[in-house]
């Protein structure tokens, strides 16, 4: 994208934090835009990178955006930790109940069914059976 910028072009983004995830990356991207002789415009923040004040404003907005992302990441992690302490786990619910998993393992290990037959019998993808059998093999 930045390789295609030419003198007089303007890089337009909706919001500065949509351009990059860190201030360092924003500054590197802005340097490349400047080297290409192009301008930068954010539709939600008033930023004019052709003036010293505009560059300072861009850096300040980028700093706050990075801070906001870090706070969001921290709050999310704290929420996940609190949920784990309450016994909740994230992710998709298992397709098979524990007694079904045991039954599949015993059917396949005894040779009564192969993995593909067990998958059809329990209406799951064969990969589900493969993962179950791999997990069962681990001591």
Tell me, yes or no, whether 92 lies in a domain. no
CATH number of the structural domain spanning residue 34: 3.40.50.1390
Our count of domains for the chain comes to 2
Average pLDDT over residues 21-38: 80
Instruction: Give residue 66's domain range.
Output: 2-85
The percentage of the chain sitting over the pLDDT mark of 90, rounded to a whole number, equals: 37
Beta-carbon contacts of 65 under 8 Å, excluding residues fewer than 6 positions away, are: 15, 16, 17, 23
Claim to verify: residue 70 and residue 27 sit in the same structural domain: yes
Average pLDDT over residues 33-41: 82
Tell me, yes or no, whether 91 lies in a domain. no
Beta-carbon contacts of 101 under 8 Å, excluding residues fewer than 6 positions away, are: 94, 132
Residue 58 has pLDDT above 80, yes or no: no
Residue 4 has pLDDT above 80, yes or no: no
Average pLDDT over residues 4-10: 79
Q: What pTM was estimated for this model as a whole?
A: 0.49
Claim to verify: residue 64 and residue 23 sit in the same structural domain: yes
Claim to verify: residue 79 and residue 112 sit in the same structural domain: no
């Amino acid at each position: 994208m930045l390789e295609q910028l030419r003198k007089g072009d303007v890089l337009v983004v909706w919001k500065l934090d949509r351009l990059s995830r860190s201030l360092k990356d924003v500054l590197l991207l802005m340097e490349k835009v400047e080297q290409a002789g192009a301008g930068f415009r954010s539709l939600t923040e008033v930023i004019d990178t052709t003036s010293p004040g505009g560059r300072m404003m861009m850096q300040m907005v980028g700093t706050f955006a990075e801070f906001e992302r870090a706070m969001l990441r921290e709050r999310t992690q704290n929420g996940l930790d609190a949920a784990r302490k309450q016994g909740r786990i994230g992710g998709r619910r298992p397709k098979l109940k524990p007694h079904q998993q045991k039954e599949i393992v015993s059917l396949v290990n005894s040779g009564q069914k192969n993995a593909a037959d067990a998958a059809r019998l329990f209406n799951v993808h064969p990969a589900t059976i493969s993962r179950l059998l791999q997990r069962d093999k681990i001591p």
